[in-house]
Structure 1
Amino acid sequence: MKAITIIQPWATLIAVGEKQFETRSWSTKYRGELAIHAGKKVDREACQKPEIQAALERHGYTADNLPTGAVVATCDLANVYPITNHFEYSGEAASINAEGVIEEIFEGNEYAFGWYEVGRYAWELHAVRRLPEPIPEKGQQGLWNWEGVSL
């Protein structure tokens, strides 16, 4: 299956169901099963932001015990939305299609857990399945093939 490496704490936020969208600077046409790989880096500053710290604490995590260098979950990549509007003053962003119809609004914790500048992309993740134990794996940039078990 395809996999993506995400630095911590964002990989764990996805795995525990707190984060439904992964924001990226690039799009993909791929849709389907996706493994979430926690990279070796932990953004300790991000872990101290109130929304992130509270979400991690709800699941027993801190910056010091996040799994790294391992696949932590699988999910389905359902959609990729281009970020077309960003309202920093109100803490929300939106994806609006060519017909001017709002496809998705990103606000609240979802907004706090991503980087929603115009020109970026929000990858919608469905059916997240947290692995019982992280599976050690090296990881790579971009989408890569993981030969682990499908859940």
Structure 2
Amino acid sequence: MKAITIKQPWATLIALREKQFETRSWQTKYRGPIAIHAGKQIDKEACEDSWIKGVLVEHGITSWQQLPTGVVLATAELVECHKVGATLGYASIFDSGKSINGLEVAFGDYTEGRYAWELDNVKVFPEPIPAKGQLSLWEWDGDSS
């Protein structure tokens, strides 16, 4: 299965189904199942952002130290890769005509020209599975390696 390593707290926000789009500077033509890997890095400053902190607290996460790292948290379906056309405040419009707003925009980098990977059908593992991440898309065999 394809996998993507995502820095915390964003990997957890996806697993919690609070973040449906992962923003990247690059696009992919891949569509299909994808494992969500929480990398070893935690953006502690982002964890103090009032929007992110508020959502994490709603789910019982009160400190960045509770965020798992170096593990696969969930799987999802990568259904589309949208190019960001414009962002005004907390609303973003993709070149495809689709638009998003609110917390979703606050949880990503929707700078014009970047890409928003649309994720759906998120399934969280009962226990995170240890795995070593990689850059770009990579193959995950489901084992803790």
Please give the range of the TM-score, normalised by the shorter of the 2 chains: over 0.9
The DSSP-based 3-state class of the residue aligned with 1:134 is strand
C-alpha distance in structure 2 between counterparts of 1:93 and 1:8, whole Å = 23
Aligned to 1:95: 94
Q: What CA deviation, in whole Å up to 9, does each residue of 1:24-74 have, x standing for no partner?
A: 000000000000000000001000111100111111112111000000000
Aligned to 2:21: 21
Q: Give the TM-score of the pair, scaled to structure 2.
A: 0.95
Q: Are 2:45 and 1:51 aligned?
A: no
Q: Give the TM-score of the pair, scaled to structure 1.
A: 0.91
C-alpha distance in structure 1 between counterparts of 2:128 and 2:25, whole Å = 26
Q: CA deviation at 1:96?
A: 2.5
Aligned to 1:65: 66
Aligned to 1:12: 12
- Unaligned segments of structure 1, at least 5 residues: none
Aligned to 1:117: 111
Q: What CA deviation, in whole Å up to 9, does each residue of 1:70-113 have, x standing for no partner?
A: 000000000010001121xx32211123xxxx1x2121100000
The DSSP-based 3-state class of the residue aligned with 1:110 is helix
Kept after mapping to 1: 8 A contact 2:90/2:103: no
C-alpha distance in structure 1 between counterparts of 2:60 and 2:137, whole Å = 29
Kept after mapping to 1: 8 A contact 2:86/2:94: yes
Aligned-residue identity in percent: 54
Note the aligned Cα RMSD (angstroms): 1.0
The DSSP-based 3-state class of the residue aligned with 1:41 is strand
C-alpha distance in structure 1 between counterparts of 2:85 and 2:23, whole Å = 13
The DSSP-based 3-state class of the residue aligned with 2:65 is coil
C-alpha distance in structure 1 between counterparts of 2:93 and 2:45, whole Å = 26
C-alpha distance in structure 1 between counterparts of 2:102 and 2:44, whole Å = 21
The DSSP-based 3-state class of the residue aligned with 2:66 is coil
The DSSP-based 3-state class of the residue aligned with 2:60 is coil
Aligned to 1:79: 80
C-alpha distance in structure 1 between counterparts of 2:142 and 2:95, whole Å = 36
Q: CA deviation at 1:8?
A: 0.1
